[in-house]
Structure 1
């Protein structure tokens, strides 16, 4: 049996992008600068010129860079044909460093999981990344976010991964066929490895709704419908409601039991619908209850921030309590925003 290749970069791209912060390890110090290995890119070589070590006058190179040290640096130039990568230590900001370290720590854990599975089943690591790791990076922003969900609900994540294989049909012609990306052996090994390395994290279950009531005291009726929704929660799955924009909101719960969380939010939506229907209001489910990742949360926060910024820009009535009250965040059912009613 051929020895599997267990060396592979962490990301689909073979080279980093310019102006991206990457984690390096210093290998040697030469006359012009330091040669380093890019840890996230299968240790390909890069160079930091001495002029890129510090914004200040350099009195001692050894005080700024040492062999063996790991740290984030900024990518200045990438020559993919020649394999040259120029890096800078002086141009990386504190924010870049924090983001790079967070990404690298997540990527390193994902890499150890993928490598362990590949080594256990005698698979090529790059092949495993090709069909499992990199598709998860594309779909979830970072494979780490997907693997956290796999711990609690493996089928909903892993069963969506597919690959295309070529087969010869009855007529002798080659045809493409879509099959699951993971065999049962690979799936079982991945789940077992995750259980040993990652403790279960509470799942966030979210549902997006729109609710309107144009009757007299419509805001009061919406308040009452919200209370009914929150009352459907329990100590294991408390239900919270947050406002995105006038009439648009989402219901959220966190739980280790996905099925229970889905049922609780479904019951909350039903209770809310029944309450608002009594007053000739209307509730529309825009997104049914589903598990969401940190990336989904970040996208939602960005969307809410954009809406808030847009409201600030177009606001022509600074004294209007109606616009001011349609703020973001959790709804206070005792002092809910007037913006819920047209």
Structure 2
């Protein structure tokens, strides 16, 4: 049986929504859409003509052509059918540049792994085993060499295919490339409390939310602008991250209910795309810059908990 050489470039099977991906146009329906292949994930996708451009389209072929490779943005992912809806008109110059850089790096790694797998007649998936058990994959690989023995006769010996030095470097690089990346999980909530000392009750609720985290999924909650807050965590396990943020929201809600406050989940916990992460960081940076004239103070109190500074109070009081 021939080895399986078709493999996606990343650990996750599907891309996240609002993530730029590199595609190749496979076919075009003149009336409705184009069908593409997501090169990094080895799955099919569709680009509706309504998502081609923000401007009026005179000729579809001037914007898209069979065989062309270009970046598109993910609109929707159907995990059951293994299909992705895409857009071109929402791809910014920064998105395109970031996507191309990431794709070129991944393509180089993928091409090397594919060549090795084809040469050694093994599945590409075998490289996953090298991360956890390199000896079981690499040690059986051998080659034949001819040598002259002490009697002057030519003999054939079977030796390891790669030296220990090469094996060490190869395993280090494969582990570095294939070890799962940290995922950033985010949830958006609104909190209001109109009781006396309502701000302090919200502060306690935020502490309860952060206390719901653990060393594998530490929870952080940030004030964006009253009454909007963002909970986030970083983890290797997507499901664990989502579950941890849900627990944090539940703990926060319980504290708010106890003081007749109100918590509304605006966006449920979900993985953040690179674009979302960048935009969120820029938003927080803008808020901090706008409040530079207010003293910041220390972020922890005497009990080791979260300490609000003057800027945080002023933002919250804007809503009350």
Aligning the two structures, in what range does the TM-score lie when normalised by the shorter sequence? 0.3 to 0.5
Tell me which protein shows more helix as a share of its residues: 1
TM-score (ref. length: structure 2): 0.45
TM-score (ref. length: structure 1): 0.42
